[in-house]
């Protein structure tokens, strides 16, 4: 009897349930009654404290289109994994102990950067681990696309689409603040798809004077509105030049709810044009996965199950071009996939006349 554990860790997003379904259905179809699927609840916390439930075939019915995760999730920072907690629990030893207590043959992990680092840690500690790349930020090294990303792009694009009509009607400047603290893939894709006039991402520090000039030029051209897609981690050139600690402090001392509100105030003061901010926030992580994510999650899930069948552990399934491949966790853990400032997508946006504030 094969016994496989599955957990979802970190922030939730679209496609988690579709991925769980892909893994479990493939294993059930291959092993029949000779496999047991253990759903570990609330991410690594469930593995630490031994909280789980068995997943039956009927539990997989109807979850392909369902957002969130039927297993629950939690954030367990990687930097604290080897720190004994307030309950005197050695988290790494507890996870290894519960893995063995449950008699698992493999642990399947669905998650983003921190999750993959812990998955690699457990792999190095001797556990059989296979992982799937989840994050709306699309910032995981080793894969062209993460699941959840395209669904979030669709939502953020829809927000920008809707903002266009009210911006045009009232002749306003609108800033749509898109999720992304460290990377700008989501803002970049949604900004282009939504027809934004300015896109500000963490990888390209902005000059506020350049942003203001773009808005003024549009007014001179008879365009009475402007749309800015701004990543929540966007940073000015002045702050970007500061040492890491001072940069962090400067962002913490920001006298606004977020960078978008600061930019809005600066634009309105310089142009006299009413400037508003819209923050879709967690809407971008919610709801049903789109067709692309349902497909890629299913393919990822099947590929993860095949790694388990072949006893090919210590790998993350990934998308390279149109092919699903497996990459060693040791090669991708801890690496952030940022937007190259000269990549084809950025260059295409600039060719259209979209400003990056640089």
Q: What is the dihedral of CA 222, 225, 230, 234, to 10 degrees?
A: 60
Q: Which of 31, 15, 70, 96 is nearest to 289 (CA)?
A: 15
Instruction: Note whether residue 304 is domain-resident.
Output: yes
Residues 6+ apart with CB under 8 A from 202: 180, 181, 182, 183, 184, 231, 233, 234, 235, 338
User: Do 102 and 131 lie in a common domain?
Assistant: yes
Could you please report the per-residue DSSP string of 145-199? Answer: --BTHHHHHHHHHHHHHHHHHHHHHHT-EEEEEES-SS--HHHHHHHHHTT-SEE
- Is 137 an annotated catalytic residue? yes
φ, ψ at 8 (rounded to 5°): -115, 130
Is the pLDDT assigned to residue 168 strictly greater than 80?
A: yes
Residue 83 is predicted with a pLDDT of 84
Instruction: Note whether residue 347 is domain-resident.
Output: no
* CA geometry: angle 346, 243, 121, nearest 5 deg: 75
User: Do 248 and 183 lie in a common domain?
Assistant: yes
User: Do 91 and 40 lie in a common domain?
Assistant: yes
Residue 89 is predicted with a pLDDT of 85
Q: Which of 229, 224, 230, 228 is nearest to 172 (CA)?
A: 224
User: Do 208 and 294 lie in a common domain?
Assistant: no
Residue 188 is predicted with a pLDDT of 98
- Residue 43: left if φ>0, alpha if ψ -120 to 50, beta else—which one? left
Is the pLDDT assigned to residue 296 strictly greater than 80?
A: yes
Residue 240 is predicted with a pLDDT of 85
Exposure letters 248-285 (e unless 16+ CB within 10 A, then b): eeeeeeeeeebbbbbbbebbbebbebebbbbbbeeebb
Question: Rounded CA gap, 274 and 37, in Å?
Answer: 56
Instruction: Note whether residue 187 is domain-resident.
Output: yes
Residue 61 is predicted with a pLDDT of 95
- Rounded average pLDDT over 284-297: 96
Is the pLDDT assigned to residue 319 strictly greater than 80?
A: yes
Is the pLDDT assigned to residue 329 strictly greater than 80?
A: yes
User: Do 72 and 125 lie in a common domain?
Assistant: yes
Lowest mean pLDDT among 156-165, 237-246, 307-316: 237-246
- Number of residues written out for the chain: 358
Instruction: Note whether residue 356 is domain-resident.
Output: no
φ, ψ at 246 (rounded to 5°): -70, -35
Instruction: Note whether residue 351 is domain-resident.
Output: no
Is the pLDDT assigned to residue 77 strictly greater than 90?
A: no
- Residue 15: left if φ>0, alpha if ψ -120 to 50, beta else—which one? left
Is the pLDDT assigned to residue 148 strictly greater than 90?
A: yes
Instruction: Note whether residue 343 is domain-resident.
Output: no
CB hemisphere CA count around 78 (13 angstroms)? 16
Q: What is the pLDDT of residues 78-118, one digit of tens each?
A: 888 888 877 788 999 999 999 999 999 999 999 999 999 99
CATH of the domain at 242: 3.40.50.460
Instruction: Note whether residue 348 is domain-resident.
Output: no
Alpha-carbon torsion (232, 236, 240, 245), positive or negative: negative
Instruction: Note whether residue 210 is domain-resident.
Output: yes
User: Do 156 and 144 lie in a common domain?
Assistant: no
Catalytic residue among 137, 139, 154, 293: 137
Residues 6+ apart with CB under 8 A from 234: 184, 187, 200, 201, 202, 206, 259, 260, 263
User: Do 233 and 293 lie in a common domain?
Assistant: no
Question: Going by DSSP bridges, is the β-strand pair 129-133/106-111 parallel, antiparallel, or unpaired?
Answer: parallel
Confidence band of 127 (pLDDT split at 50, 70, 90):
very high
Confidence band of 119 (pLDDT split at 50, 70, 90):
very high
Residue 88 is predicted with a pLDDT of 81
Question: Rounded CA gap, 36 and 54, in Å?
Answer: 7
User: Do 95 and 209 lie in a common domain?
Assistant: no
User: Do 18 and 103 lie in a common domain?
Assistant: yes
Is the pLDDT assigned to residue 68 strictly greater than 80?
A: yes
Confidence band of 10 (pLDDT split at 50, 70, 90):
very high
280 lies in which domain range?
152-284
- Rounded average pLDDT over 163-170: 91
| Number of domains observed in the structure of the chain | 2
CATH of the domain at 133: 3.40.50.450
Residue 141 is predicted with a pLDDT of 96
Residue matched to tokens 């045009």: 168
Residue 84 is predicted with a pLDDT of 83
- Rounded average pLDDT over 59-63: 95
User: Do 52 and 180 lie in a common domain?
Assistant: no
Lowest mean pLDDT among 145-149, 238-242, 308-312, 334-338: 238-242
Lowest mean pLDDT among 10-24, 86-100, 305-319: 86-100
Q: What is the pLDDT of residues 238-288, one digit of tens each?
A: 988 988 888 888 888 888 899 999 999 999 999 999 999 999 999 999 999
């Amino acid at each position: 009897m094969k016994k496989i554990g599955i957990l979802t860790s970190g922030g939730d997003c679209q496609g988690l349930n579709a991925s769980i379904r892909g893994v479990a259905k493939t294993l059930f179809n291959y092993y029949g009654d000779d496999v047991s699927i253990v759903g570990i609840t609330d991410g690594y916390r469930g593995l630490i404290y031994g909280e789980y439930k068995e997943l039956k075939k009927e539990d997989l019915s109807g979850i392909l289109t369902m957002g969130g995760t039927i297993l629950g999730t939690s954030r367990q920072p990687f930097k604290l994994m080897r720190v004994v907690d307030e309950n005197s629990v050695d988290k790494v030893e507890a996870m290894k102990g519960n893995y063995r207590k449950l008699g698992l043959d493999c642990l399947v992990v669905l998650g983003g950067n921190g999750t993959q680092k812990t998955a690699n840690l457990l792999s190095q500690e001797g556990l059989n681990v296979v992982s799937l790349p989840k994050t709306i930020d699309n910032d995981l090294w080793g894969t062209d696309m993460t699941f959840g990303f395209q669904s979030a792009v669709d939502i953020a694009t829809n927000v920008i689409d809707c903002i266009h009509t009210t911006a045009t009607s009232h002749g306003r400047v609108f800033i749509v603040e898109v999720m992304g603290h460290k990377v700008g893939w989501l803002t970049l894709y949604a900004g282009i798809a939504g027809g934004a006039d300015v896109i500000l991402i963490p990888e390209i520090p902005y000059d506020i004077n350049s942003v203001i000039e773009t808005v003024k030029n549009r007014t001179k051209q008879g365009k009475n509105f402007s749309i800015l897609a701004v990543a929540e981690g966007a940073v000015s050139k002045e702050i970007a030049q500061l040492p890491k600690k001072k940069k962090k402090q400067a962002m913490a001392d920001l006298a606004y709810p977020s960078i978008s509100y600061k930019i809005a105030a600066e634009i309105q003061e310089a142009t006299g044009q009413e400037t508003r901010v819209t923050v879709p926030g967690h809407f971008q992580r919610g709801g049903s996965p789109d067709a692309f994510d349902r497909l890629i999650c299913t393919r990822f899930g099947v590929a993860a199950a095949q790694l388990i069948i072949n006893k090919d552990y210590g790998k993350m399934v990934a998308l390279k071009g149109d092919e699903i491949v497996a990459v060693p966790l040791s090669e991708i853990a801890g690496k952030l996939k940022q937007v190259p400032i000269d990549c084809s997508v950025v260059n295409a946006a600039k060719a259209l006349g979209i400003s990056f504030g640089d």
